[in-house]
Amino acid sequence: MLLKRVADVLLLPMKTILSLLALLAVFTASPVVRGDEAADKAQITELEKQSAAALVSGDFQALESIFAEEWLLVGPAGEVMTRKFIFGQLRSGDLKFTGYDLGDMVIRIFGDTAVVVGRGTPHGEWNGQKFEEKEVFSDTFTRVGGKWRCVMSHSSAIADEK
Amino acid sequence: MRLALQRLAANDLLGSMRKTLRLLLAIVLLAAADSLHADPTDDRQQLGDLEQGCATALIKADLRWLDSFYDQDWVLICSDGQRVSRRKSLAQLASGEVKWKSIVLSEVDIRVFGDTAIVIYKAVSVGEIHGATLRETELCTDSFIRVDGGWRCVHSHNSWAP
């Protein structure tokens, strides 16, 4: 067996050779082997649709799986909000989405990082105040254990286009 | 006698091969360990220095520095929701259409997720656009990817901040 001969030549136990090969496989696979870009884009598009729907339906199982625990949202007025804060607002009913329409999205994949720039029209109520605004948003995703998770969102309000 | 010498030479060759292979394995293992366990403190330090370097390069209109900071696919979403490409942004600096006199960063928050990083900070910038003085306070987010042990900015999004 080839591996046995290599182990003999290097005067190393077979177990060590196998461990080295496993480590080498992890090392070489992570930065070089990229997933299929089209499949990644399709997955992320689906996640964007799911998150918009989950915000409206209050599906926390879906939201917790899409947004990483460290997720931060930067609002149009430069306010930085944590996942805990936003989910707390949703759970208490202080923040309600009655709809979240998604427009065009451009997705860029950089290995295990993805950035989405998209347009959306969220509408609902926050602390009794109705809102319906057009936004441009940026979502940054990172791939963890083969799964994409959103770590940051940044939203800017845009004026009505004529 | 001749056979004994040949055996000795073969043994020497095998010994050297073993040494070389062990050295190669050690190098591979060190590189793997380095990649798998990148020090988050070093990453944060590096990213903080890059952000500071970017502010300085923007003031000096140091296009060479900025060229290595921004990824080819970098995009900026401005506070008004406008999308600016890397090419346009650098061309505006090169032509003098946009000039920065000072950019002061504060409240810098750096988060690293493996080979993805995000940086959130407040920037107070003073400059000129088309000859008109510009003074603005913005909440900025930058998304980075790790490339060859360093970091490259792939996306920026700004919001006017109070």
DSSP E strand boundaries for chain B: 70-77, 83-85, 98-113, 116-129, 132-147, 150-160
Question: Any CB–CB contact under 8 A between A83 and chain B?
Answer: no
ipTM over 0.85: no
- What sign results for the dihedral spanned by CA atoms B149, B57, B135, B132? negative
Q: Is the pLDDT of residue A19 over 80?
A: no
Choose the most confident range, by mean pLDDT, from A20-29, B11-20, B83-92.
Answer: B83-92
How far does B145 lie from chain A, in Å, by closest CA? 7
Query: What pLDDT digit, counting tens, does each position of A85-123 carry?
Result: 999 999 999 999 999 999 999 999 999 999 999 999 999
Cβ contact (<8 Å) for A72 and B22?
no
Query: What pLDDT digit, counting tens, does each position of B29-52 carry?
Result: 555 555 555 677 899 999 999 999
Interface of A with B in 99-118 (CB under 8 A): 108, 110-113, 115, 117
What is B37-79 written as a DSSP string?
Answer: T--HHHHHHHHHHHHHHHHHHHHHT-HHHHHHHEEEEEEEE-T
Of B144, B140, B138, B133, the residue nearest B157 (C-alpha): B140
> What DSSP character marks residue A128?
T
For residue B158, name the pLDDT band (cuts at 50, 70, 90): very high
User: Which of B120, B157, B160 is the closest to A80 by Cβ?
Assistant: B120
Cβ contact (<8 Å) for B143 and A10?
no
pLDDT at position B10 is 63
| Torsion, CA A39, CA B83, CA B159, CA A112, rounded to 10 | 20
This prediction has a pTM of 0.79
